[in-house]
C-alpha cells in the first residue's frame, strides 16, 4: 500500500507540468522546471571530459531534443529512401538512424531489419582529430545547418566519436541481441541507489510505452540493450536524467545486465 502511494506521488511529481510549458520544442511528458533547463540542454562553464562525451552522445541520439532546437520537418534529404522504405520523417535526421546505436552501421545490429540503410558505422572515427570529424558534419551526407547544430556542439559530438564510443560486441550477443556478460549483483547495487530514484526499484515507475503498449527499463534492456547502453552512458535526451559516463564502463555494463532482469509486464493490481 505504502509502496503504491509512493509510486503514484512520484509519478505525479514527474508528470507535473513545469513553468517551462512555453517551451514548444519540449515534446516529452516529463516537463522540467526552468532551473533544470541548463542541465538538460545547456553546458557547464568548465566542461569535464565525462560531461562532454555524454553531451555528444545525446546529440548523436536526438540532437533537437538534446539541444532544445526546432524538430526538423520531413525526411532528411540525405536519407537513402530507395534503400529503406520503412523510415521517414524527423527520425531520419538522427545520427543513430543511419549509424546505429552500436555505432557499427551496416556492420552491426542495423545490418538487417527495419533500420537497414547500408551506411557504414562511425567506428572508423575512433581516435581521429575532432576537427577532422567535425568537417564531415557539414558535408552532403549531413545537411545540418548551424541553426540545427552549432559549430561548438559539433565539437562535442565529434569528441564523442573520437573518444566516447564503446564496442558493444564485447557485452552484447549479436545473434540474440541480448546482454551476455556483466555482474548483475553490482548492477543491482547501482540501479537501486541511482536509477530507482526515478524509475522505481523494479524499473516500472516510468512507462514510455505508447498506444497501450508498455515500455519500462526492463522491457527496453531486454529488447534493445544497445539503445539502453546509450541511455546509461549519456542519459535520455530532453529529460532530467543522470548518466554513468564518469564511472568505469564496467559499471554501465553491470547496470545493463541487471536492467535486463527487471519485469517486462505491468504490475497486476
Ligand atoms: C541520412 C543518413 C545519415 C545520418 C542521419 C547521419 N549520417 Fe553520418 N554518414 C552518412 C554517410 C552516407 C556517410 C559516409 C559513409 C561512407 O563514406 O561510406 C557518413 C559518414 C559519417 C562520418 C565519417 C565516418 C568515418 O569513418 O570517418 C561521421 C564522423 C559521421 N557520419 C557523423 C555523423 C553524425 C555526428 C551524425 C548526426 C549529427 C550523422 N553522421 C548522421 C550518413 C548519415
Ligand atoms: C532523475 C531521474 C532519472 C534517473 C535517476 C534515471 N532516469 Fe532514466 N529516464 C528518466 C526520464 C524522465 C526518462 C524519460 C521517459 C520518457 O521518455 O517517457 C528516462 C528514460 C530512460 C530510458 C528510456 C529511454 C527511451 O528509449 O525512451 C531508459 C532506458 C532509462 N531512462 C534508463 C535509466 C537507467 C538505467 C538509469 C540509471 C543509470 C536511469 N535511467 C536513471 C529519468 C531518470
List pLDDT tens digits, range 102-159.
999 999 999 999 999 999 999 999 999 999 999 999 999 999 999 999 999 999 999 9
pLDDT of 228 over the 80 cut: yes
Q: Which helix (H) or strand (E) holds 69?
A: none
CA nearest ligand 1 atom 39, residue = 95
Q: Cα of 77 to ligand 1 centre, how many Å? A: 13
Contact 61, 233 (CB under 8 A): no
Q: What's residue 268's pLDDT?
A: 85
Instruction: Find out whether 136 and 161 touch, Cβ atoms under 8 Å.
Output: no
Sole residue written with cell 562525451: 53
Whether the Cβ atoms of residue 115 and residue 97 lie closer than 8 Å to each other: yes
Predicted pLDDT of residue 97: 98
- Domains of the chain with bracketed CATH: 2-31+170-259 (1.10.760), 49-165 (no CATH)
pTM for the structure as a whole:
0.91
The residue nearest atom 17 of ligand 2, judged by CA position, is 208
pLDDT range class, residue 203, cuts 50, 70, 90: very high
Residue of 11, 35, 96, 199 to test ligand 2 pocket, by largest number of atoms within 8 Å of CB? 199
Tens-digit pLDDT profile for residues 60-107: 999 999 999 999 999 999 999 999 999 999 999 999 999 999 999 999
| Pocket, ligand 2, Cβ cutoff 6 A | 28-30, 194-195, 197-199, 206, 208, 217, 220, 227-228, 231-232, 236, 239-242, 244, 255, 259
Residue 66 in contact with ligand 1 by CB distance below 6 A:
no
Q: What is the pLDDT of residue 236?
A: 98
Hey, CA dihedral for 219, 223, 225, 231, is it positive or negative? Answer: negative
The model's pLDDT over 1-31, given as tens digits with 9 standing for 90+, comes to 334 434 444 444 444 433 333 333 334 457 7
Ligand 1: residue whose CA is nearest its atom 43: 98
Sign of the alpha-carbon torsion through 157, 46, 252, 201: negative
Q: Is the pLDDT of residue 40 over 70?
A: yes
Q: Which ligand has its closest atom nearest to the C-alpha of 79?
A: 1
97 vs 89: CA distance, rounded Å: 11
pLDDT on residue 29 = 56
Alpha-carbon distance 55 to 237, whole Å? 9
**Quick check: 215 pLDDT over 90?**
yes
Amino acid at each position: 500500500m505504502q509502496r503504491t502511494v509512493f509510486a503514484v506521488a512520484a509519478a505525479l511529481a514527474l508528470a507535473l507540468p513545469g513553468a517551462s510549458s512555453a517551451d514548444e520544442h519540449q515534446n516529452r511528458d516529463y516537463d522540467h522546471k526552468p532551473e533544470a533547463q541548463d542541465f538538460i540542454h545547456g553546458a557547464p562553464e568548465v566542461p569535464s571530459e565525462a560531461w562532454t562525451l555524454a553531451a555528444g552522445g545525446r546529440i548523436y541520439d536526438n540532437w533537437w531534443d538534446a539541444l532544445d532546437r526546432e524538430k526538423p520537418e520531413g525526411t532528411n534529404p540525405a536519407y537513402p529512401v530507395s534503400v529503406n522504405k520503412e523510415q521517414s520523417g524527423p527520425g531520419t535526421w538522427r545520427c543513430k538512424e543511419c549509424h546505429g546505436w552500436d555505432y557499427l552501421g551496416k556492420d552491426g545490429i542495423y545490418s538487417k531489419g527495419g533500420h537497414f540503410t547500408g551506411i557504414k558505422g562511425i567506428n572508423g572515427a575512433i581516435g581521429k582529430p575532432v576537427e577532422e570529424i567535425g568537417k564531415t558534419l557539414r558535408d552532403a551526407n549531413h545537411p545540418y545547418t548551424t541553426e540545427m547544430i552549432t559549430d561548438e556542439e559539433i565539437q562535442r559530438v565529434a569528441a564523442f566519436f573520437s573518444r566516447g564510443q564503446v564496442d558493444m560486441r564485447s557485452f552484447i550477443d549479436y545473434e540474440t541481441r541480448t546482454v551476455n556478460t556483466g555482474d548483475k549483483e553490482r548492477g543491482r547495487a547501482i540501479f537501486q541507489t541511482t536509477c530507482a530514484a526515478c524509475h522505481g526499484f523494479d524499473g516500472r515507475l516510468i512507462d514510455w510505452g505508447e498506444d497501450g503498449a508498455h515500455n519500462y527499463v526492463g522491457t527496453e534492456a531486454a529488447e534493445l540493450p544497445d539503445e539502453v547502453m546509450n541511455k546509461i552512458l549519456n542519459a535520455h535526451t530532453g529529460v532530467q536524467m543522470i548518466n554513468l559516463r564518469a564511472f568505469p564502463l564496467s559499471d554501465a555494463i553491470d547496470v545493463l545486465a541487471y536492467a535486463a532482469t527487471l519485469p517486462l509486464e505491468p504490475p497486476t493490481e
